[in-house]
A and B are shown apart, each in its own frame.
Chain A
Amino acid sequence: MIVAVASGKGGTGKTTVTASLATVWDGPLVAVDLDVEEPNLHLFLQPAISGSQTAHMPVPLVDESRCTYCGACSDLCQFKAISVMGQLVLTFPEMCHGCGGCLAVCPEKALSPGQRELGEISWGRVGQVVFLSGRLRIGEAMSPPLMRRVKAKLEQMLPANGGDAIIDAPPGVSCPAVNAVIDSDVVLLVTEPTPFGFYDFQLAWEAFSPLGKPLAAVINRAGLGHDAVYRFCREKGLPILAEIPYDRSIAEAYAWGRIITEVSAGLRENFISLRDKLRDLARPGPSGKAVHA
């Protein structure tokens, strides 16, 4: 089972929930930080890092001696990463999306795959939990290509007979966020009962519900008083699997970089129950189809 922890709004507690679930997991687990623009899961889990690799994407390299300036590459590229200007081929590697189309259409085989560095993938372990994380190169504009490489690494790490993973997704509802949840079995949306939390929660529901995966919510900072998100969940049939109270002791633990399951036995029970409900949600229902929220 792969659980993606997403939110829409930033700062609602995705990483808090991911780290807490990791501490109460009752089997082999890979905890994945897919928020590659600002990874921070390691701050809470504090894994021992055992390996890393630099990730690259193929971008065109031009052999001018073979080029006839026919412009086939330039016509194909939707991103203008390669452009033929008279008797000169210009490449803009930072604009390339790595599709490889220019290499495929060049009739003179004048293009070969070069490399653009995307960032770094690192992995390690904390207790029984395997840790995996991506970190985008500073200056790199696109995060989905690196995220896909982190997910490929996750696929290698998961045992062939299944195995569990929790993905800490980036905030927002654009390409990076969708990329983080698209291969999951369950999407867990972390929100807070405030007007801001509710607004972005609706956006997240609109973005992720068409994926046809079971969706569920965790309400963080419960007790702040704004109840629109509860009404929305009822109307849409979105189960609320856990509430984390708005509580000073939780804020203090968080501020020290501690995982909040350490705060009290009650909170720990809260996340054990969340873990079990996620399992139930991911399990195919009696009709043979996944339970759909």
Chain B
Amino acid sequence: MSIIAVTSEGPSLDDQVDPRFGRAAGFLVVDLETMDTRYISNGQSQVMAQGAGIQAAEIIAREGVGWVLTGYVGPKAFKALSAAGIKVGQNLEGLTVRQAMERFKSGSIESAQGANRTGR
């Protein structure tokens, strides 16, 4: 799968990975073959009282991505991402989007088997 989404604090590859999935500032969608990038704001999910993770999953599912790279994913978001067939690489906070992407390309990111945050 050559298109991935990375939760990002800003629109460039050198921005930090946003540790939060559902309430991430936005998503950088990267086509690994062409290296085209596109930034999608997640502002509409950030302001939701609840269900931000589910809505964020809907947003990136529409982009046709195969993977999402992020910090933490809650149980409802994980369920929604799994339903959409999107694999999750987690615990990547502290890296830039570029570093996370390089790590993914090197094959050292495993597909998470479950949420790594408890839900509310």
Contact = CB atoms under 8 A, between A and B. Distances in A.
Q: Are the chains A and B members of one assembly?
A: yes
Interface of A: 74, 77-81, 83-86, 88, 90, 92, 95
A86 B85 contact: yes
A139 to B, nearest CB: 12
Contacts of A81: 51
Contacts of A80: 48, 50-52, 54-55, 76
Contacts of B85: 86
A83 B50 contact: no
Interface residues of B, number: 16
A92 B85 CA distance: 18
16 contacts: A74-B58, A79-B49, A80-B51, A80-B52, A80-B54, A80-B76, A81-B51, A85-B61, A85-B83, A86-B61, A86-B83, A86-B84, A86-B85, A90-B54, A90-B79, A92-B51
Interface in B75-90: 76, 79-80, 83-85
Interface string B66-106: 00000000001001100111000000000000000000000
A79 B58 contact: no
Nearest to B57: A85
A78 B50 CA distance: 9
B46 to A, nearest CB: 13
A21 B67 CA distance: 63
A86 B86 CA distance: 11
Contacts of B51: 77, 79-81, 92, 95
Contacts of B50: 79-80, 95
Given A80-B48, A80-B50, A85 B84 contact: yes
A88 B81 CA distance: 11
Nearest to B49: A79
Contacts of A95: 50-51, 76
Nearest to B51: A80
Contact of B58 (A78, A85, A92): A85
A79 B52 CA distance: 9
A90 B55 CA distance: 12
A86 B84 CA distance: 6
Nearest to A89: B83
A90 B61 contact: no
A78 B52 CA distance: 10
A92 B84 CA distance: 15
Nearest to B84: A85
A85 B54 CA distance: 10
B91 to A, nearest CB: 24
Contacts of A83: 54-55, 57-58, 80
Contacts of B83: 85-86, 88, 90
Nearest to B76: A92
Question: Among A81, A85, A88, which residue has the most Cβ atoms of chain B within 10 A?
Answer: A85
A80 B59 CA distance: 13
Contacts of A88: 83-84
Contacts of B52: 80
A147 B3 CA distance: 48
Nearest to B56: A80
A90 B54 CA distance: 10
Contacts of A92: 51, 54, 76
